[in-house]
């Protein structure tokens, strides 16, 4: 039976040679995660069940990243719940403030998730890890608790939509633009409960950070997961992101052999195959109040912004900070704009410091935060007031997402965000370059 990469991964994890879309399976888990919003509920359910031992203390991550550093007493209690549960069960992968990062950037960085894995997390953007060639999906807190007890997840094998990206990559266009245009095309329910398989020559040219951004936003199209077949780019990433202190030596030849099995068969069945010519694209912007309300930046018009946020689990990685700093260097943030930059992990923060990127942001008139989800979900570190507009590199722009219900959130790549912070309105990066940005 011809199988997609998603079907192959799921078949392996439920002990079958093949699975079919629509089939319900009981699949073994390679890794699970929860954060300071969702994990306390899972902990409550775990403890109410009467079980006293987690299935594997090495396969659980607890990461307080949403309301941390704690913004109030309630958020401090949430984080405390994680801390105590991790200590009680000797969970190795608990990352406190000072060592933590935004979960979907931290886990790949630490080498805790990889190609061929089956991962669940009580956060909808768990689909991020599909960029490595994993089946990774968000679940409810009770499903996470069940995973901690059994080491398995019960799920329906999704159908797959294949998205093929062709053509030469235009200047300033990357993974964030790919996924915004895709969601703009199919809508926020266009891939409902489907695996979104991203393929084509343009995908193969994308670095890992851009692939993470694409898979991260699969959920914004209703997708069950996003996935990219692992290749040489993936191999290089996996080799360079081995779990610190693991003492394991990576067998490159074994990985290459493993990757050869993580391919969709030539005649695999898809519900749809969508093709795009990226050479015709320019940077994209999602307008309020849906990620599908997408326009090329040149068609947005002169929209003023009060705040720009560069960061999140979508675009808070080092390459995102580098391109932002490249545009901001030698320029000043518009005095009416608040620029908030959030490196996604401590390691990224340190690397940005070593490269002088943080100095660029501060000298330009921006502020740099400790790693946190913060403003993305309207938590803290950048809440919007009535009538304010924010351009963010985050993944959602629903009504009231970042604060007041009468505020407005626009989504873009880091390049557009940085350029817009300088001009004070949504701007194509090239417009800033022509006016003398220093490169």
What is the per-residue pLDDT for 243? 66
What is the per-residue pLDDT for 242? 75
Average pLDDT of span 227-234: 95
The four Cα atoms 238, 244, 247, 253 give a dihedral, to 10 degrees, of 10
Quick one: 112 and 41 in the same domain? Answer: yes
pLDDT tens per residue, range 191-200: 999 999 999 9
Quick one: 261 and 330 in the same domain? Answer: no
Average pLDDT of span 225-244: 89
What is the per-residue pLDDT for 420? 98
What is the per-residue pLDDT for 318? 97
Quick one: 198 and 254 in the same domain? Answer: yes
> Could you tell me if residue 250 is inside a domain?
yes
- Report residue 21's pLDDT band, with 50, 70 and 90 as the boundaries: very high
Q: Residue 213 sits in which domain range?
A: 5-277
Quick one: how far is CA 317 from the chain centroid? Answer: 10
Average pLDDT of span 414-434: 94
Q: Count Cβ atoms below 10 Å from residue 141 Cβ, excluding itself.
A: 20
Quick one: 88 and 236 in the same domain? Answer: yes
- Report residue 29's pLDDT band, with 50, 70 and 90 as the boundaries: very high
Q: Residue 352: which of 327, 384, 376, 318 has the closest Cα?
A: 318
> Could you tell me if residue 412 is inside a domain?
yes
pLDDT tens per residue, range 140-151: 999 999 999 999
Quick one: 19 and 133 in the same domain? Answer: yes
Quick one: 209 and 299 in the same domain? Answer: no
What is the per-residue pLDDT for 246? 53
CB 405, CB 421: distance < 8 Å: no
> Could you tell me if residue 101 is inside a domain?
yes
Taking the C-alpha atoms of residue 301 and residue 287, their distance in angstroms, rounded to an integer, is 11
Output the pTM of the full model.
0.94
What is the per-residue pLDDT for 438? 45
Quick one: 335 and 235 in the same domain? Answer: no
What is the per-residue pLDDT for 436? 60
Instruction: Among 277, 292, 315, give the residue marking a domain's end.
Output: 277
Quick one: 47 and 67 in the same domain? Answer: yes
- Report residue 245's pLDDT band, with 50, 70 and 90 as the boundaries: low
- Report residue 265's pLDDT band, with 50, 70 and 90 as the boundaries: very high
Residue 355 is encoded by which pair of tokens? 């490269």
pLDDT tens per residue, range 305-355: 999 999 999 999 999 999 999 999 999 999 999 999 999 999 999 999 999
Quick one: 228 and 341 in the same domain? Answer: no
Average pLDDT of span 3-17: 96
What is the per-residue pLDDT for 1? 82
What is the per-residue pLDDT for 434? 73
- Report residue 249's pLDDT band, with 50, 70 and 90 as the boundaries: low
Quick one: 112 and 157 in the same domain? Answer: yes
Quick one: 271 and 288 in the same domain? Answer: no
Taking the C-alpha atoms of residue 222 and residue 134, their distance in angstroms, rounded to an integer, is 18
What is the per-residue pLDDT for 433? 83
- Report residue 244's pLDDT band, with 50, 70 and 90 as the boundaries: low
pLDDT tens per residue, range 342-397: 999 999 999 999 999 999 999 999 999 999 999 988 989 999 999 999 999 999 99
Instruction: Among 223, 250, 277, give the residue marking a domain's end.
Output: 277
- SS3 breakdown of the chain: % helix, strand, coil, rounded to 5? 40, 20, 45
pLDDT tens per residue, range 211-224: 999 999 999 999 99
Q: Residue 123: which of 395, 405, 380, 412 has the closest Cα?
A: 395
Quick one: 263 and 296 in the same domain? Answer: no
pLDDT > 90? residue 439: no
- Report residue 248's pLDDT band, with 50, 70 and 90 as the boundaries: low
pLDDT tens per residue, range 176-195: 999 999 999 999 999 999 99
Q: Count Cβ atoms below 10 Å from residue 101 Cβ, excluding itself.
A: 25
Instruction: Among 277, 305, 339, give the residue marking a domain's end.
Output: 277
- Report residue 429's pLDDT band, with 50, 70 and 90 as the boundaries: very high
> Could you tell me if residue 327 is inside a domain?
yes
Peptide bond into 430 cis (omega under 30): no
pLDDT > 90? residue 286: yes
> Could you tell me if residue 90 is inside a domain?
yes
Residue in the structure block whose two tokens are 């000072």 = 98
> Could you tell me if residue 92 is inside a domain?
yes
What is the per-residue pLDDT for 437? 45
Which CATH number covers residue 318? 3.30.499.10
Q: What total number of domains does the chain contain?
A: 2
Average pLDDT of span 276-304: 96
> Could you tell me if residue 417 is inside a domain?
yes
């Amino acid at each position: 039976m011809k199988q997609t990469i998603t079907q192959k991964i799921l078949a392996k994890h439920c002990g079958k040679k093949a699975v079919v879309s629509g089939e319900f399976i009981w699949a073994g888990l390679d890794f699970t995660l929860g954060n300071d919003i969702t994990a306390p509920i899972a902990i409550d359910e775990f403890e109410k069940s009467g079980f006293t031992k987690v299935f594997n203390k090495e396969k659980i991550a607890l990461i307080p990243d949403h309301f941390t550093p704690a913004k109030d007493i309630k958020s401090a209690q949430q984080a405390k719940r994680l801390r105590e549960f991790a200590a009680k069960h000797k969970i190795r992968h608990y990352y406190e403030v000072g060592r933590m990062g935004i979960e979907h950037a931290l886990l790949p960085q630490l080498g805790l998730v990889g190609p061929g894995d089956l991962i669940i997390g009580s956060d909808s953007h768990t689909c991020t890890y599909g960029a490595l060639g994993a089946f990774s999906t968000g679940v409810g807190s009770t499903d996470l608790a069940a995973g901690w007890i059994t080491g398995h997840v019960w799920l329906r094998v999704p159908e797959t939509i294949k998205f093929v990206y062709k053509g030469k990559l235009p200047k300033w266009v990357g993974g964030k633009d790919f996924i915004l245009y895709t969601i703009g095309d199919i809508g926020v329910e266009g891939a409902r409960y489907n695996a979104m398989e991203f393929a084509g020559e343009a995908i193969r040219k994308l670095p890992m950070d851009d692939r993470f951004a694409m898979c991260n936003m699969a959920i914004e199209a209703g997708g069950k997961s996003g996935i990219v077949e692992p290749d040489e780019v993936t191999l290089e990433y996996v080799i360079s992101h081995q779990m610190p202190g693991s003492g394991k030596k990576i067998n490159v030849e074994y990985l290459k052999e493993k990757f050869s099995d993580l391919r969709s068969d030539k005649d695999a069945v898809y519900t749809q195959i969508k093709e795009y010519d990226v050479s015709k694209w320019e940077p994209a912007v999602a307008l309020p109040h849906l990620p599908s309300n997408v326009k090329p930046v040149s068609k947005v018009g002169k929209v003023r912004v009060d705040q720009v946020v560069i960061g999140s689990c979508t675009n808070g990685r080092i390459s995102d900070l580098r391109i932002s700093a490249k545009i901001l260097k030698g320029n000043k943030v518009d005095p009416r704009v608040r620029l908030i930059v959030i490196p996604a992990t401590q390691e990224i923060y340190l690397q940005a410091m070593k490269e002088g990127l943080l100095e660029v942001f501060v000298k330009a008139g921006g502020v740099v935060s400790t790693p946190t989800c913060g403003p993305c979900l309207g938590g803290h570190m950048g809440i919007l007031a009535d009538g304010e507009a924010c351009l963010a590199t985050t993944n959602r722009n629903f009504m009231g997402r970042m604060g007041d219900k009468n505020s407005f959130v626009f989504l873009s790549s880091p390049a557009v965000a940085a350029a817009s912070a300088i001009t004070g309105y949504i701007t194509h990066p090239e417009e800033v370059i022509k006016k003398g940005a220093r490169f």
